[in-house]
Chains A and B, each alone.
Chain A
Amino acid sequence: DAGVTQSPTHLIKTRGQQVTLRCSPKSGHDTVSWYQQALGQGPQFIFQYYEEEERQRGNFPDRFSGHQFPNYSSELNVNALLLGDSALYLCASTLSLIADEQYFGPGTRLTVT
């Protein structure tokens, strides 16, 4: 039973560039959430996708956008990268919109120079 997978593991980008991160949810899960974790801090909720639509959104600018595909996998896109976007980006999946337990992937470490 495959858990949550994320790619790539690490990524280095330059200010102003755009980046796409990918996530495949745990088998049987249909809801995907994305979190940003700056160094030394707790994760912050970015947004959640269910049935290919954004259902909830945290306090992040429109530079952060996402997509969910029919197979429930998801992408996180960040445009016009800033130095402050450097963080660990975590994807989590749940069995449904109302399921309690979230399963996290290993994360993508993004460094913006």
Chain B
Amino acid sequence: SQQGEEDPQALSIQEGENATMNCSYKTSINNLQWYRQNSGRGLVHLILIRSNEREKHSGRLRVTLDTSKKSSSLLITASRAADTASYFCATVTNAGNMLTFGGGTRLMVKP
């Protein structure tokens, strides 16, 4: 079973716009990670935020975490056509480092 839900399931924007994806989860976590997947291939790790952190930045990526609401958001600023992919959030509990994924957001950035 999956930990939570991602919203929206699909997002289509123009190049240069910002893209925001949300993730909700159900249990207490140790950390939350975001991954990117191109065309049903392997996943690429983007960013990790720990349960005691509220916000983290990496290049054009900004992640927030609200443990009281059990939710996270991923913001991609100044999007590019090359950002077109599926984005997944994944949680890690204190029981081990296996990942529990959400259903993903399919992002399309139009040139």
- Do they bind each other? yes
Contact B45 A101 (CB under 8 A): yes
Contact A42 B88 (CB under 8 A): yes
Contact B42 A97 (CB under 8 A): no
Specify which of B31, B90, B96, B101 is in contact with A97 (CB 8 Å cutoff). B96
Chain A 29-49, CB within 8 Å of chain B: the 1/0 string? 001010101010111110010
Give min CB distance, B54 to chain A, whole Å.
18
- Chain A's interface size range is 20 to 34
A41 cross-chain contacts in B, Cβ below 8 A: 2, 103-104
A7 cross-chain contacts in B, Cβ below 8 A: none
* Closest B residue, CB atoms, query A55: B96
B41 cross-chain contacts in A, Cβ below 8 A: 106-107
Chain B 1-31, CB within 8 Å of chain A: the 1/0 string? 1100000000000000000000000000001
